Amino acid sequence: MYTYKEITGQGEQLQKTLEIVENLNLEIGNVDQVLFTGCGTSYYIAASAAKYFQTVTGVFASAIPASELFLHTSSCIVPGKKYLIVAISRSGTTSEILIALDHLKGHADLSTMAITCNGDTPMATAADKVIALDHISEKSVVMTQSFSNMLYGLQVFAATQANSTHNLNELKQIPQLVAEALTNEDLTKVVAEDLSKTRIIFLGSGSYNGIAKEATLKLKEMTQTECESYSNLEFRHGPISIVDETTVVILMTQLETADYDQALVKDIQKLGGCVLTIGTTPEGFEADHIIKLTDEISDLNRHGMYVPYLQLLAYQRAIHLGYNPDKPRNLTQVVKL
Ligand code: F1P
């Protein structure tokens, strides 16, 4: 199963990504807005990367699905503003991203940067600057290492733009921590293999919301389970009505949201739902299952550590259900229009 190998072998690849991005000269100059874009998993990278970039650099950043950039340009681009478009694609050949880059040329004052796992593609050629992570050559249809490495690469990019030694030093610890993370696979199996839970919800807030969305996509792609994701407290505003004893909520916790997260866990449990938390939690925090991550890395830089658990959970459920995660239904590595 190459999907399994790609999920569990991420630490080494992240180290290589760090070295590549640190050694590139990626000065972006003065821009009003950085617009991160991609499709599917690559769009979810954009969602997390944009929030991270804005927090670390103070430059306004947002994420837009690539198709929106050419279908609804004026809702994404303000005339007269200067943009950096960051195009994200594992393959570098997805139709929407190529159409968007071509379309925007005439519509905005912009420069472009691509991040991809294939530096020799139309997207890389079209962009002014490229982060080429050619060491990631995934066989799996579903994106695993490519998600974690492109997101991590963009975090290192943001920290170097901001000259932020503190953030960079924390990010440098991530490859080793990820390599050590998956030693106990039972931590996710307890939820993945519980088939009495048929409704699965992923919650993450801030720059973790893109990861919650990606976790949902991984589970859908590998198991065709209908699942949902929300920003943590948004879950209370309607979606919580679906909670019952068949529901499991996987909640990404951070130290700065812990009090709110604890109250949310209790509310879900009161309705019969089960909660697995992944993240940093203070002493005394209660949930049905807890995967506790180190708090030596701040909330801002810990993303890479959550990802393998969420990918593994989808993989384990697929195996338990008798599906082949290497051959997901109705999917191809690249979608072309
Ligand atoms: C993006 C993508 C994947 C999805 C599927 C089809 O590809 O939409 O997220 O899982 O395999 O392609 P890319 O633009 O990053 O190559």
| H, E, C per residue of 297-336 | CCHHHCHHHHHHHHHHHHHHHHHHHCCCCCCCCCCCCCCC
40 lines ligand 1 (CB under 6 A): yes
In a domain, 223, yes or no: yes
Atom of ligand 1 nearest to the CA of 38: 14
In a domain, 300, yes or no: yes
Q: Which residues pair with 36 in a beta bridge?
A: 63, 86
User: DSSP class of residue 135?
Assistant: T
Q: What is the pTM of this model?
A: 0.96
- Determine the distance separating the centroid of ligand 1 and the alpha carbon of 169, expressed in angstroms: 31
100 lines ligand 1 (CB under 6 A): no
Do 192 and 230 fall within a single domain?
A: yes
Do 50 and 73 fall within a single domain?
A: yes
In a domain, 80, yes or no: yes
In the predicted structure, residue 232 carries a pLDDT above the cut 80: yes
Backbone angles phi, psi at 170, to 5 degrees: -70, -45
Q: Whose CA is nearest to atom 13 of ligand 1?
A: 89
87 lines ligand 1 (CB under 6 A): no
Q: Whose CA is nearest to atom 11 of ligand 1?
A: 333
Q: Which residues contact 184 (CB under 8 A, 6 or more apart)?
A: none
Q: What is the pLDDT of residue 2?
A: 86
Do 160 and 199 fall within a single domain?
A: no
Do 134 and 272 fall within a single domain?
A: no
pLDDT tens, position by position, 119-167: 999 999 999 999 999 999 888 878 999 999 999 999 999 999 999 999 9
Do 34 and 49 fall within a single domain?
A: yes
Do 137 and 242 fall within a single domain?
A: no
Q: What is the pLDDT of residue 23?
A: 92
| Cα→Cα distances 34→54, 166, 205, 303, Å | 9, 22, 20, 20
Do 203 and 247 fall within a single domain?
A: yes
Atom of ligand 1 nearest to the CA of 333: 11
CATH number at residue 282: 3.40.50.10490
The predicted model gives 82-100 an average pLDDT of: 96
Which of 36, 43, 91 to mutate to test ligand 1, by most ligand atoms within 8 A of the CB atom?
91
Number of structural domains found in the chain: 2
User: In terms of Cα–Cα distance, which of 255, 245, 314 is closest to 279?
Assistant: 255
118 lines ligand 1 (CB under 6 A): no
In a domain, 331, yes or no: no
CB 151 within 8 A of CB 49: yes
Q: What is the pLDDT of residue 195?
A: 95
What length does the chain have?
Answer: 337
Q: What is the pLDDT of residue 336?
A: 75
In a domain, 328, yes or no: no
Do 164 and 194 fall within a single domain?
A: no
329 lines ligand 1 (CB under 6 A): no
Atom of ligand 1 nearest to the CA of 89: 15
User: DSSP class of residue 148?
Assistant: H
In a domain, 334, yes or no: no
- Residue 28: pLDDT band (50, 70, 90) is confident
pLDDT tens, position by position, 280-329: 999 999 999 999 999 999 999 999 999 999 999 999 999 999 998 888 77
318 lines ligand 1 (CB under 6 A): no
91 lines ligand 1 (CB under 6 A): yes
In a domain, 231, yes or no: yes
pLDDT tens, position by position, 208-224: 999 999 999 999 999 99
In percent, the amount of the chain with pLDDT more than 90 equals 83
Residue 291 belongs to what domain range? 182-321
Which of 6, 36, 42 to mutate to test ligand 1, by most ligand atoms within 8 A of the CB atom?
42
- Determine the distance separating the centroid of ligand 1 and the alpha carbon of 334, expressed in angstroms: 6
Do 102 and 196 fall within a single domain?
A: no
Do 197 and 139 fall within a single domain?
A: no
Q: Whose CA is nearest to atom 10 of ligand 1?
A: 142
In a domain, 167, yes or no: yes
